[in-house]
Each structure stands twice: as C-alpha cells, then as structure tokens.
Amino acid sequence: EADIYQTPRYLVIGTGKKITLECSQTMGHDKMYWYQQDPGMELHLIHYSYGVNSTEKGDLSSESTVSRIRTEHFPLTLESARPSHTSQYLCASSEWGYGYTFGSGTRLTVV
Amino acid sequence: RKEVEQDPGPFNVPEGATVAFNCTYSNSASQSFFWYRQDCRKEPKLLMSVYSSGNEDGRFTAQLNRASQYISLLIRDSKLSDSATYLCVVNANNNDMRFGAGTRLTVKP
C-alpha cells in the first residue's frame, strides 16, 4: 500500500501549457524530493525540500518550480511545457537517516 | 568523478546462477547504505539496507567495506523475477541520498 501518491500517472500535453504534478505523502516525512528519469537512464535530482517553506534546486538544472506549503504536499510546476520536458518524474520522501520511499511517478509527454 | 559508481552491465545470467554487483562511493563520511531495485518503467523500491557487518535476506547478501569504500550485492540462485536494475544508494553529508546509475540484470531461462 502506497504512502506517497503522485498524480496524474500519465500526462500528454501540448507545448506551452502550464502543468502541475502532484505529490502527497501520509508518513509525516519532513524531507521530500523530485527526480527526473528518462527511460533506461539514471535518476537526476531536480528539487528537494527539508520541510515547510524550504525548497532547493537539485543537481540537474530544471525549468520547473516547486512549493512546500504543507508537510504532506510537494507539487512541481512547469510554467510552459516543452518537448524537452518529456520524461518520468518521481517524487520521494524520507526521514533523516532512512531510505527513500518513492511514488509511482508521472510519465509526462509534451507534444 | 561521480559520488556513487556502479558497473552498468548489463548482466545476462541463466536461472540459478549467482551474480554479484559492485559499487564504490567517494564520500568517506557516508554512514547509510542501501540497495534499491527498479523494474522497467516503475519506481525504485528498497531492496535492503547494508550494515557494517554484512547482512543477508534470503538469497540476497549485502557487504560493506568501509576501508575500500565499496559495497556489494550477491544474488544466489537467480530467478527470472530478479530481472531488474539494481541501484546502489549512499547518504551524503547533508544526509540526502546519492543514487548510482544502476546495474541492469537479466535472468534468462
């Protein structure tokens, strides 16, 4: 049973549209992360948060933005989607010193 | 140099084989170590933590060598269902995790 939820599971959208990928967790974890992963390739950290009102950019430059207004919620927004944003986006959460729990991911296709 | 390095494979082995994956990490201050499994087009899932004394979970054995900054995962009696990508994960200074690029395993009948 998943304790971290991502919606939508799949999204196909036109170039220039604004989109928000949702991520919510019910474990009370302070730390949350967004990763981008292309098929067969490694994970790239694009954003992370250590708690409410804390957000940081990750190792991979991304045109997306995030917010953390509530502990359980960590949405990712693309103001103007482009085909280069086509990828899988994975959200994760953790407690200090423990491994990550991942959501099922959002597979985004920008046409 | 990447913080966590793995042999990308692919490893193609017959059912019943024993296979070992290696991983090296660069941060000598790392304290937490994990192996994750990722199936095709799915999210990574925790397979097992790696403890200093080494640990075993059924057919899976994980080892840690702090002096050499090296982690290993041994899979005995491989099953078709073991086919996946195996990710080595190490914590960083800020206690965030660093993922290796993964080693792909295919077990064939």
Rounded to 10 degrees, the C-alpha dihedral B66/A50/A34/A22 comes to 150
Strand partners, A3: none
Compute CA A74 distance to the chain's CA centroid, rounded to the nearest angstrom.
7
- Which strands sit side by side in the sheet containing A19-25, from one edge to the other? A4-7, A19-25, A76-78, A65-66
Task: State the smallest CA–CA distance between residue B42 and chain A in angstroms.
Answer: 7
CA separation for the pair B104, B74 (Å, rounded): 14
pLDDT in tens, A85-107: 999 999 999 987 678 999 999 99
- Please check whether residue B79 is in contact with residue B105, taking contact to mean a CB–CB distance below 8 angstroms: no
Report CA-CA distances (Å) from A33 to A36, A96, B47: 10, 13, 19
A contacts of B43 (beta carbons < 8 Å): 90, 102-105
Length of chain A: 111
On whether any CB of chain A is under 8 Å from the CB of B101, the answer is: yes
B91 contacts A102? CB cut-off 8 A = no
The answer to whether B100 contacts chain A (CB < 8 Å) is: yes
Q: Which residues in chain B touch residue A102, judged by CB atoms under 8 angstroms apart?
A: 43-45
Nearest-CA distance B8 → chain A (Å): 10
Q: What does the pLDDT look like over B68-88, one tens digit per residue?
A: 999 999 999 999 999 999 999
Q: How many residue contacts between A and B have a Cβ separation below 8 Å?
A: 43
User: What pLDDT score was predicted for residue A99?
Assistant: 83
Q: Residues A8-40: pLDDT tens digits?
A: 999 999 999 999 999 999 999 999 999 999 998
Q: Quick check: B60 contacting A, CB < 8 Å?
A: no
Task: Give pLDDT tens digits for A62-89.
Answer: 899 999 999 999 999 999 999 999 999 9
